[in-house]
Amino acid sequence: MSKLIYLDNNATTKIDEKVLEAMMPYFKEEYANPSSMYDFSIKPAHAIKEARRKLKDFLGAKNEKEIIFTSCGSESANTAIRGYLSTVKNKKHIITTKVEHPCVLNVYKYLEKNGYKVDYIGVNSNGELDLTELENAITPDTALVSVMFANNETGILNPIKKISEIIKNKNPETKFYVDAVQAAGKVPINVEDLGIDMLGISGHKFHAPKGVGVLYVNSKTMISPLIIGGHQERGKRAGTENVPYIVGIGKAAELAADNLEYENTEIARLRDKLEKGIVQKVYNARINTGLATRVPNTTNIGFEYIEGELILLHLSDLGICASSGSACTSGSLEPSHVLRAMNVPFTSLHGSVRFSLSRFTTEAEIDYVLDKLPAAIEEIRKISPYQKELQALKEMKTANV
């Protein structure tokens, strides 16, 4: 492919060269098992310690012992949720949201079949969580509340501190799990300030490789391991440590912290330019989240009366990568559970596209999309069965200009 404009960074990101460079010695020369007794294992063991310190700093944890390396965001979520619940057998109530990632939602569906009662909190039309509904749902039997930091499809940020205060006021024994996979590297995270008990992130969403994640569990929260075996990760996650990848996520966390300001100024500016440009140039486009608070890199745009899959195929022909739904649900024709929970009108439910930028996105790439996308949409509109509705939209928009 000649041209590649990668605007699907919520699905995965390109590995940063500096991350790869930091990892390489641990594939080649420093391959010792970090648990061995000879001097050859000192360097890998030290590298893991260093990465743990970097993650502690990145997440604002108090203690390095609160950091557990995992293989991905899904493993972090499973370990936290199932690992914690297996230590509180007398409480069978969980609260989560309707818009969580499938790696969290499907754990709760599984738990529902195994004797748990789960309440799924709704969102408004901008994707913002109903905090009153959440507060009212907490009971003395609530073992766990689980709310994502940022939504993968819309980028909507949840008020994590406010939620942790609500939980602690209503039932101080209830634990709070936060899936922060889409927040890491995009907004500051400080688990101590935010009152979070457990939090999961995934390396491949912030320029580390696929196959490494982190779970934070504060020292007051007990979990049983999901993977039972050796003594690694203080008995919380067995298996010989994946040294190069752990080094990689450590380096990626350090770089992400350095780039946080750039993400929130320059990348936010490029995202805003992209979405404003699209809404100006394409008369049947609407921003699905309105002006709600979002991570700086994401926009979710509905193109009314046309199919999202067709848009993605046209964009792909132009070398532009974007997505509809989450990476896991795109490819299925089911409309996104997130957009359905937001009551996005059916006219744009099937025609919604997520564009997600990264610190490697350039202004020239955004200009290219703004140049090419309107004509692609025009082509797709020609074969839409909703010609009358499109014409009415066009007239309305022209009258409003």
Is residue 202 involved in binding ligand PLP (CB under 6 A)? yes
Which is nearest to 86 in space by CA: 227, 220, 223? 223
109-148: which residues touch ligand PLP (CB under 6 A)? 148
Q: At its nearest, how many Å lie between ligand PLP and the CB of residue 172?
A: 27
Active-site annotation holds for 72: no
Q: Tokens 């979520």 appear where?
A: 77
And the tokens for 121?
Answer: 């909190």
Is residue 73 involved in binding ligand PLP (CB under 6 A)? yes
3-state secondary structure of 35: coil
Site string for ligand PLP, 310-329 (x = CB under 6 A): ----------------xx--
Instruction: For residue 292, count CB atoms less than 10 angstroms from its CB and return exposed for 0-12, middle for 13-18, buried for 19 or more.
Output: middle
366-395: which residues touch ligand PLP (CB under 6 A)? none
Query: Interface with ligand PLP by CB under 6 A: which range of 78-86, 178-186, 264-272, 311-319?
Result: 178-186
Residues touching ligand PLP, count (CB under 6 A): 14
Q: Which residue's CB is nearer to ligand PLP, number 157 or number 390? A: 157
3-state secondary structure of 175: strand
Q: At its nearest, how many Å lie between ligand PLP and the CB of residue 59?
A: 16
Assess contact for 47 and 362: CB atoms under 8 A: no
Of these, 107, 181, 199, 274, which contacts ligand PLP (CB under 6 A)? Answer: 181
Q: Which residue's CB is nearer to ligand PLP, number 99 or number 143? A: 99
209-248: which residues touch ligand PLP (CB under 6 A)? 213
Assess contact for 174 and 144: CB atoms under 8 A: yes
Of these, 96, 182, 300, 358, which contacts ligand PLP (CB under 6 A)? Answer: 182
The sheet carrying 213-217 orders its strands as 67-70, 213-217, 198-202, 175-179, 142-146, 93-97, 117-121
Q: Which residue is nearest to ligand PLP (CB)?
A: 73
Which is nearest to 251 in space by CA: 82, 47, 1, 84? 47
Q: At its nearest, how many Å lie between ligand PLP and the CB of residue 245?
A: 12
Query: Interface with ligand PLP by CB under 6 A: which range of 66-74, 248-256, 300-308, 331-339?
Result: 66-74
Query: Interface with ligand PLP by CB under 6 A: which range of 72-80, 118-126, 133-141, 377-385?
Result: 72-80
And the tokens for 254?
Answer: 């350090």
Q: Which residue's CB is nearer to ligand PLP, number 142 or number 326? A: 326
Instruction: For residue 228, count CB atoms less than 10 angstroms from its CB and return exposed for 0-12, middle for 13-18, buried for 19 or more.
Output: exposed
Helix (H) or strand (E) holding 347: helix 346-349
| Largest separation between any pair of C-alpha atoms in the chain | 77
Query: Interface with ligand PLP by CB under 6 A: which range of 176-184, 261-269, 286-294, 355-363?
Result: 176-184
Distance from C-alpha of 290 to C-alpha of 116, rounded to nearest angstrom: 35
Which is nearest to 98 in space by CA: 160, 180, 153, 172? 153
- Tell me which residues are annotated as active site: 328
Chain contacts with ligand PLP (rule: CB under 6 A): 72-74, 101, 103, 148, 152, 179, 181-182, 202, 213, 326-327
